[in-house]
Amino acid sequence: MKALPITVLGLAGVLGSAAQAADKTLTISVYSFAQDAYKEALYDPFEEICGCDLVVETGNSVERMAKIEANAADPVVDMAVMSTQDALSLSRKGLIQPIDAAKLDSFDSLYDSAKDPIGDNMAVGYTYYASSIVYRSDLVEVTSWADLLSDDLAGQVALPNITGTQGPLTVMMMGKAMGMSDDYAPVISEIGAHADDIVTFYSRSSELVQLMNQQEVIAAPVGRFAWGSFANAGLPFAWAEPAEGQAGGMNVMILTKDNGNEELAYQFMDYWLSAEVQAKIGNLMIDSPANREAVLTDEAAANMTYGAELIEALNIMAPEAVLEQREAWVDQWNAEVIR
């Protein structure tokens, strides 16, 4: 009988340890694409290493940002990935916290532009993407962003909507082709003047893939992450290298403010940013690496935004420019383009 309390205490200790293990949970908010591939390449291996559970929340950017804002007093998301402009928006609202680079062993291996992409150490880049023009090489040759509004392509072009990721990048590069660097209002007006020659203003790359496979569209701007859908389509699609260069963007990792789970979040971030994991994800052609030491196969390298020469040559729009001008762009777009 005297041993009973010890046994009970021992059992309580075991149960307590089990409860602590069950409580070791990291909640992340991510883009919804390629989640099966991410689970195999990233989530499951990390759970084995950390002895923890990953709760993965997905959705579009607006929904995911709204959830972070709505739960600012008691965060339900620990770590998230998003565009630079969305991260900057959350930073300006005081909803995220600075990232301590000393807690990321992989930090020094990142490309310089990924180390502090929105300022004040509020985010760290984990992937790049190039944007250019996909076109039917048997029907047309595209050598400039200005070609999208040429007479030769009238009635055969799709452009991205200004509200999507590709929209501002396309306007930026068309402006560059027109000799305009900062004021995009004339570019939007020019697109509006040619609106009847545009097949559609698409919102999702899946829409574009269908139109191009059906040969209703023979040229359109697109992000490199969607190139595989065209490369494997069985039609002679080509990736343009315009005279003005390629546009580009970066997605970043952020930590929600005062989430209380920073230690585990840093462990996950560092794992994701490691050369080994970035190479694994890149070779599966999910995301292009931001770690300059990640090595991709020739096939993956040809399909991803890979290598210092390409990344350093990308025309990347400043996130503050998108935030500060997006509303005006949308208003003008709705008035002059979608009329």
Band of pLDDT at residue 264, cut at 50, 70 and 90: very high
Instruction: Point out which residues pair with 130 in neighbouring strands.
Output: 248
Mean pLDDT score of the chain: 91
Domain 131-248+318-336 of CATH type 3.30.830.10: no
- Amino acid 182: pLDDT: 76
Do domains 22-128+249-316 and 131-248+318-336 share one topology? The answer is yes
Domain positions in the chain = 22-128+249-316, 131-248+318-336
* Strand ranges inside 190-287, DSSP E: 198-202, 219-223, 237-239, 247-256
Residue 40 predicted with pLDDT over 70: yes
The secondary structure element, H or E, covering residue 96 is: strand 96-97
Q: Give the orientation angle of helix 275-283 with respect to helix 262-273, to 10 degrees.
A: 60
Residue 255 predicted with pLDDT over 70: yes
Task: Give the CA-trace dihedral at 279, 281, 286, 292, to 10 degrees.
Answer: -30
pLDDT tens-digit readout, 278-337: 999 999 999 999 999 999 999 999 889 999 999 999 999 999 988 899 899 999 999 999
Phi, psi of 157 (to 5 degrees): -115, 145
pLDDT tens-digit readout, 53-94: 999 999 888 899 999 999 999 999 999 999 999 999 999 999
- CATH no. of 22-128+249-316: 3.40.190.10
Ramachandran assignment for 120, one of left (phi > 0), alpha (psi -120 to 50 degrees), beta (any other): left
